Chain A
Amino acid sequence: MALPPLNDTITAIATAPGTGAIGVIRLSGPDSFAIATQLFKPKNKQVLRPGKVYYGAICDNEGIIDEAIVLSFKAPHSYTAQDVIELQTHGGPAVLRRVLELSQSHGARLAKPGEFTLRAFVNGRIDLVQAESVLEMVNAQSESARRNAAHGLSKSLSEQLHLIQTDITRVYGNLQAVFDYPEEGVPESEYQTPLNRALTRIDQLLSTAKAGQIAQKGARLALVGKPNAGKSSLLNALLGYQRSIVSNIPGTTRDYLEAPLTLKGIPITAIDTAGIRETEDLIEASGVTAAKDIAAHADLSLYLLDASQEPTPEDFEVIASLEPSRSLLVLSKADLPQVWTQSFNRPLYKVSATKGEGLEELKTAISEKLIGDASSSELWLSSERHAQALKQTRDLIEQALSAPDDLASLDLEEALRALAEITGRGDIAEETLEHIFANFCVGK
């Protein structure tokens, strides 16, 4: 178990898991301002100064991820008494995850449970009673997470982890046997094969990580389309009850509506957005902007096209901007005759909300888009921390593959330690010795 240092820069999602109106990513530590400057572009190109609020955009190399409000605090005037940055974004898990990954790619470390509180306490910002109550809460959570780790890891997942661990231990043990018994004829075994096998297994597990997180935390599903395209009707049909006010006056849904539902076992928050259309109406315009954002940052968007209305250039433009992996096209009001024939070169799911036709097919398509075929494999890594530990394991193995033997063994020892964060298994030195003495006849 690696203990966290207290003076590097850490990051985490500070708001509760799931969906909220806003989501906050917090950074604490000496590089907070530097990292924020790299990923956040203030609207008026100001330099970030302590105690100020900035509006702007969070960007990666490819462009804008989200609009955000940034609050900055200079040490010691912050929760942790270190430099702190809070990035407030729209609350979707997909956005938050991307911003979190981005801040890590700029050098922040993913915080461990309770780490912000720990720093706050160590630096004298909160007193013992406060700190203990926060930590108890964190511990209660990590305790249940740990119990999950012990009992709740699916059998096939722990088998996979065990196989990965066995391959690393074998190579590490063989290297150490050669080092510690250099003259006793320990065969120098080839280690590309077992390490590459471990890498393949790790990649397979990581590929299910997103699905696992969606299965656990839920996904945001945006219903997008022009006014009166049938979004609210579709939402009601998916919900099975009346939620939105359904009317045929364009622009009735002025803000967006959220509704929780479960589709094929996946917890989903469906968002019915205001219709996308340029408008003079101010209230309507703010709704349109929010709708565009939410569509872009949902885990999955359904773009609705009215069977009875010819698609407009706006429809084409928006559909072209949607990632096919994160969107579905829906032909709504399919009970009405389709008056147009244009093709979008993508599947079009025909749904009649009033007659309930095509709903099942749409639900299946939504579930497949969100979690793929992961539901059958069971190998869900549902925790961000597990995924993080596996990524670290993978990086260390890759490093070992190109390092000289003595350094490779250090990398592999560290990889075993990273893996132990998931499996909770302990004494690496002892397990390695067991491997050595079980497999090699060494010793005087």
Chain B
Amino acid sequence: MKFDVIVVGGGHAGIEAAHAAAKLGVSVAMVLPNPDKIGLMPCNPAIGGPGKSQMVFEIEALGGVMGKLADQTAIHARTLNASKGPAVQSLRVQNERDGYASAARDLIESISNIQIVRGEVAELLVGKEKINGISLTDGRTISATSVVLCTGTFLSGVVWYGKQHREAGRQGEAPARYLSESLKNTGHELLRFKTGTPPRIRADSVNFSVLDEVSSDNPVSSFTGNPGAKVSSSPTWLTHTTPQTHALILANLEHSAMYGGEIEGRGPRYCPSIEDKVVRFSDKERHLLFVEPDGIETSEVYLQGFSSSLPPYLQDDMIRTLPGFEQAVIQRYAYAVEYDAIDPTQLDISLMSKKLPGLFSAGQINGTSGYEEAGAQGLVAGINAARFSQTQAPISIPRNLAYIGVMIDDLVRWGIDEPYRMLTSRNEYRLLHRQDNAEDRLTEFGYSWGLIDDQKYSVVNESIARVKNEVTRLQNLRLGVDLASKILTRTESSYDSLEQMDTFPKSNLSLWEKKKVEILIKYSAYVERSERELESRKDFESLKIENLDIAKVSGLSIEGKQALLKYSPKTLGAAQRIRGIRDSDINALLVYSKGKSRKIDINVSRETL
């Protein structure tokens, strides 16, 4: 078999990678052991949340599919931080777990230039200093110009229930047993990470009537502008731990694989197990738990906040100490999983391996956690795998443009020592990278890369123009003594309150567009300040300093030299963000690189002087 691009895995990274590559017109093989598991949500059945929803909007604006799948199968949607200002407002939707997977599978199957291949990878095939394809454990070989690894937690996965463990990629599924070896043989360093999931409980064993209910927003927002038909059809619920839960956990800590020291992989701080929470925050009388349905006809609920590596028989007792769960029956026990990840500093900004050209990776294999993080990387890796096979230059998303850029920059430049989850605090440009302006920032790029078609492109541009015109209109529209835009900047006023005024000539904007107008006017001063700062840094972001012989640069501090050698930043902007680098080091680099090659254009325009 021969393809342009092979995508290994059919999870959230694999779906975006295969879809994007296929959209660019190349032939794609999606290789995975079980095609029924495409688009599975192995953790909670939800998409979005702070930092993550922004990435889903960005994927959508670039022409990816996660937002569409999420909207299409949503059963509940809320805007989090709604009262906190646009920089941190984030949409989160609950999804039908099975619905999401089948919509994803339908999508992949509907694309004619994607072929699904059932199989497990045995080895990466290496040709002349680049990848040539893969061989499968059944002996078949598939050749391709580029390969994208999206293996999730399957790389040498080990699943733990208490101190019992076995090799598995996930509950009930075989791990990728040989790929780790093959990666090591091709010069890659691997990290060992750990993560956990909470128990799943039979819905009909839960007494929902005593639980606090959280309902959907009304009206709801969506990632694509088209909320699914069933979006407001289910609530979520809250429960909490009790003193009995805590006592039970504390009395049985020695049975935990984590506390017993059996698990060597490092777990994320933001996914603490319930054991962790009880031990570390012993003064807290209760811990909140979120009860998430897996569909409208809830057959199973997901108990977010209750990850555990205690043995199953204890989990049964623990769960019954929670209000509403006195009779609960666990359908699938909580487990911890350990897996290999590629040290992402071995990747370049296009997500291609520096060790093996043509090999790309995306998602949990790069050390991240979360569907959204995986999908965003899958999109970038898929585009670049296709471009590599077409001998086109790679694309990258700069840090100052999008959350996706921040994430990839963080990963490939810093490396990580725990699974990486996106958080708004990681993004210094968060005021500019809002979910409401993802299209304004990115659709242009999605179009030029070939992921957005003409029709969608003009729809987006028309909407952007409508918003812009409305802002101009409000800046010139006098309502009584004040301009409409002036009125809108008051804390208590909103676009809605303008519309309440009899004298206000109505517009035909959508709710979403009205919201954008409101944000643009209310926050214009702050946004302009952020944009000015961004502008002032641009010169340095575009100044390439790769291939410099650091040892020859005079005037560098010792720490600066070490840091540069360790991280080999590609641009002066990247160098500037490295710990231990000082202004004087940047000056020295600039002077040296300018002296070495007068080709570097640093954009100091004399005409502005």
Chain A residues with CB under 8 Å of chain B are 1, 3-8, 29-30, 75-76, 81-83, 112-115, 118-119, 121-123, 127-128, 131-132, 135-136, 138-139, 142-143, 146, 176, 178-185, 403-407, 409-410, 413, 426-427, 429, 432-433, 436-437, 441-444
B464 within 8 A of A: no
A182's nearest neighbour on chain B, judged by CB, is: B80
- Using known A-B contacts A75-B609, A410-B431, determine if residue A427 contacts B579 with beta carbons closer than 8 Å: yes
B81 within 8 A of A: yes
- Using known A-B contacts A114-B587, A136-B554, A443-B270, determine if residue A123 contacts B423 with beta carbons closer than 8 Å: no
Q: Which residues in A have their C-beta under 8 angstroms from that of B530?
A: 410
How many angstroms between the C-alpha atoms of A403 and B584 in the bound complex? 34
Q: Which residues in B have their C-beta under 8 angstroms from that of A139?
A: 555, 557, 584, 587-588
B270 touches A132 (CB 8 A): no
How many angstroms between the C-alpha atoms of A82 and B423 in the bound complex? 42
- Cross-chain contact of A413 among B288, B423, B428, B554 (Cβ < 8 A): B428
Q: Which residues in B have their C-beta under 8 angstroms from that of A176?
A: 423-425
B560's nearest neighbour on chain A, judged by CB, is: A139
Q: Which residues in B have their C-beta under 8 angstroms from that of A443?
A: 268-272
Besides A1-B576, A146-B582, 5 new A-B residue pairs in contact (Cβ under 8 A), listed by A number:
A75-B609, A83-B609, A115-B587, A183-B290, A441-B280
Give the segment of B64-72, B355-363, B536-544 that binds chain A: B536-544
A410's nearest neighbour on chain B, judged by CB, is: B431
- Using known A-B contacts A5-B539, A75-B606, A122-B602, determine if residue A406 contacts B584 with beta carbons closer than 8 Å: no
A440's nearest neighbour on chain B, judged by CB, is: B281
A80 to chain B, nearest CB (A): 9
A434's nearest neighbour on chain B, judged by CB, is: B269
Q: Which residues in A have their C-beta under 8 angstroms from that of B581?
A: 1
B537 touches A3 (CB 8 A): yes
A122 touches B590 (CB 8 A): yes
How many angstroms between the C-alpha atoms of A369 and B2 in the bound complex? 86
B426 within 8 A of A: yes
A28's nearest neighbour on chain B, judged by CB, is: B609
- Using known A-B contacts A76-B606, A135-B587, A136-B554, determine if residue A407 contacts B431 with beta carbons closer than 8 Å: yes
- Using known A-B contacts A30-B609, A82-B609, determine if residue A444 contacts B584 with beta carbons closer than 8 Å: no
In the complex, which residues 42-77 of chain B have their Cβ closer than 8 Å to any Cβ of chain A?
44, 50-51
Q: Which residues in B have their C-beta under 8 angstroms from that of A5?
A: 536-537, 539
B266 within 8 A of A: no
- Cross-chain contact of A1 among B81, B277, B526, B582 (Cβ < 8 A): B582
A184's nearest neighbour on chain B, judged by CB, is: B288
B539 touches A121 (CB 8 A): no
Q: Which residues in B have their C-beta under 8 angstroms from that of A409?
A: 425
Give the segment of B8-16, B84-92, B246-254 that binds chain A: B84-92
Q: Which residues in A have their C-beta under 8 angstroms from that of B606?
A: 75-76, 81, 123
Contact with A along B545-584 (1 / 0, CB 8 A): 0000000001101000000000000001100100111111
A136's nearest neighbour on chain B, judged by CB, is: B555
- Using known A-B contacts A75-B609, A176-B424, A433-B423, determine if residue A406 contacts B85 with beta carbons closer than 8 Å: yes
B588 touches A406 (CB 8 A): no
Q: Which residues in B have their C-beta under 8 angstroms from that of A82?
A: 609
B465 within 8 A of A: no
B270 touches A442 (CB 8 A): yes
The 7 closest A-B pairs by CB, nearest first: A406-B85, A128-B595, A5-B536, A443-B270, A406-B87, A176-B425, A75-B609
- Cross-chain contact of B269 among A75, A132, A142, A437 (Cβ < 8 A): A437
How many angstroms between the C-alpha atoms of A75 and B80 in the bound complex? 52
Q: Which residues in A have their C-beta under 8 angstroms from that of B51?
A: 180
- Cross-chain contact of A406 among B431, B537, B580, B604 (Cβ < 8 A): B431
Contact with A along B527-541 (1 / 0, CB 8 A): 000100000110110
- Cross-chain contact of A407 among B85, B287, B426, B537 (Cβ < 8 A): B85
A426's nearest neighbour on chain B, judged by CB, is: B579
Contact with A along B302-317 (1 / 0, CB 8 A): 0011010000000000
How many angstroms between the C-alpha atoms of A93 and B505 in the bound complex? 62
Most chain B CB atoms below 10 A, which of A5, A146, A413, A427:
A5
In the complex, which residues 412-440 of chain B have their Cβ closer than 8 Å to any Cβ of chain A?
423-426, 428, 430-431
- Using known A-B contacts A123-B606, A182-B50, A184-B288, determine if residue A441 contacts B540 with beta carbons closer than 8 Å: no
- Using known A-B contacts A6-B602, A437-B269, determine if residue A142 contacts B582 with beta carbons closer than 8 Å: yes
- Using known A-B contacts A118-B590, A406-B84, A441-B277, determine if residue A1 contacts B608 with beta carbons closer than 8 Å: no
Residue contacts A-B, CB under 8 angstroms, 21 given: A7-B604, A7-B608, A29-B609, A30-B608, A115-B587, A128-B592, A132-B595, A143-B557, A146-B582, A176-B425, A180-B51, A180-B423, A404-B85, A406-B81, A409-B425, A410-B430, A413-B425, A429-B425, A436-B425, A437-B269, A441-B272
A407 touches B539 (CB 8 A): no
How many angstroms between the C-alpha atoms of A305 and B287 in the bound complex? 78
B594 within 8 A of A: yes
How many angstroms between the C-alpha atoms of A195 and B198 in the bound complex? 39
Q: Which residues in A have their C-beta under 8 angstroms from that of B583?
A: 1, 3-4, 112-113, 142
A121 touches B591 (CB 8 A): yes
B500 within 8 A of A: no
How many angstroms between the C-alpha atoms of A183 and B280 in the bound complex? 20
A179 touches B425 (CB 8 A): yes
A83 to chain B, nearest CB (A): 6
B284 within 8 A of A: yes
How many angstroms between the C-alpha atoms of A382 and B584 in the bound complex? 20
Q: Which residues in B have their C-beta under 8 angstroms from that of A432?
A: 425
How many angstroms between the C-alpha atoms of A113 and B290 in the bound complex? 54
- Using known A-B contacts A179-B424, A406-B88, A429-B425, determine if residue A142 contacts B280 with beta carbons closer than 8 Å: no
How many angstroms between the C-alpha atoms of A443 and B523 in the bound complex? 30
B116 within 8 A of A: no
Q: Which residues in B have their C-beta under 8 angstroms from that of A81?
A: 606, 609
A132 touches B304 (CB 8 A): no
B405 to chain A, nearest CB (A): 15
B425 touches A132 (CB 8 A): no
B367 to chain A, nearest CB (A): 16
- Using known A-B contacts A180-B50, A441-B280, determine if residue A138 contacts B584 with beta carbons closer than 8 Å: yes
A3 touches B576 (CB 8 A): yes
A5 to chain B, nearest CB (A): 4
Q: Which residues in B have their C-beta under 8 angstroms from that of A6?
A: 539, 602, 604
Contact with A along B584-607 (1 / 0, CB 8 A): 101110111011000000101110
- Cross-chain contact of A441 among B284, B304, B539, B605 (Cβ < 8 A): B284
Contact with A along B252-287 (1 / 0, CB 8 A): 000000000000000011111000010011001001
B425's nearest neighbour on chain A, judged by CB, is: A176
B17 to chain A, nearest CB (A): 26
- Using known A-B contacts A118-B587, A142-B582, A404-B85, determine if residue A444 contacts B271 with beta carbons closer than 8 Å: yes
- Cross-chain contact of A179 among B88, B590, B608 (Cβ < 8 A): B88
How many angstroms between the C-alpha atoms of A178 and B425 in the bound complex? 11
A346 to chain B, nearest CB (A): 46
Most chain A CB atoms below 10 A, which of B430, B526, B583, B595:
B583
B295 to chain A, nearest CB (A): 20
Contact with A along B375-391 (1 / 0, CB 8 A): 00000000000000000
How many angstroms between the C-alpha atoms of A62 and B81 in the bound complex? 49
